[in-house]
Amino acid sequence: MIGSMIKPPGIDVAGDTGDLLPVEILYPPEVLYKIIENGDMKMKYLSKVVICSLISSAALASGTHSDSHGHMKYSVGEPGGGTPDRVISVSMQDSMRYEFSPDLVSLKDGETIEFLVRNDGKLQHEFSIGNAEDQVKHAIMMKNMPDMKHDDPNTVSLAPGESARLSWKFMGQDSVVFACNIAGHFEAGMKHSLAIGH
């Protein structure tokens, strides 16, 4: 529930004017998850809000929000269109590694890359594009819903032998994290990070 506005109990908001603050600013994903997990009675009424927030974050898989015109905003770019600047093949391996061909060693602001993603392993894997914060939110969602299927422009989840295309236009100055957020995969090394250059 990106952009949901609440004033939680026990938190003094500056000036206490009754103004509401976005739930994701007051509570980062790790804290939201602990609130749900620990069942804090003071925060109990937030459970549904928190769960909806986590579900929406994962549904967006970017942890971002719409602008005033209703266009989706992503942390490290937007879905690509037209002819890509490069085409990169990505092999997802059970060794918990991505193999890029040709090697993915740089990203340029404004560059569109079409990723040809293939699961060459015997386990389910995913290929998700975002920044570090996006991947933390996505990992929490995946922990809570391990069988979740993705229909996001920046994430593909593939069964063994499946393949998919993902086109992405990289924008901004943030570091991009390519990650598999299936439980245990990221921690085992299924990630790749690069800064967007100019």
Q: Which residues contact 84 (CB under 8 A, 6 or more apart)?
A: 112, 113, 114, 167
Q: Which residues contact 44 (CB under 8 A, 6 or more apart)?
A: none
Q: What is the model's pLDDT at position 72?
A: 55
Q: Does domain 77-197 bear CATH number 3.40.50.2300?
A: no
- State pLDDT tens for residues 29-62: 555 444 444 444 334 334 444 444 444 444 443 3
- Using the structure block, give the residue that is written with the tokens 């975002």: 130
User: What average pLDDT does range 122-139 have in this prediction?
Assistant: 92
Residue 192 main-chain phi, psi, to 5 deg = -155, 130
0.85 cut: is pTM over it? no
Domain limits, the chain = 5-60, 77-197
**Rounded percentage of the chain residues whose pLDDT exceeds 90:** 49
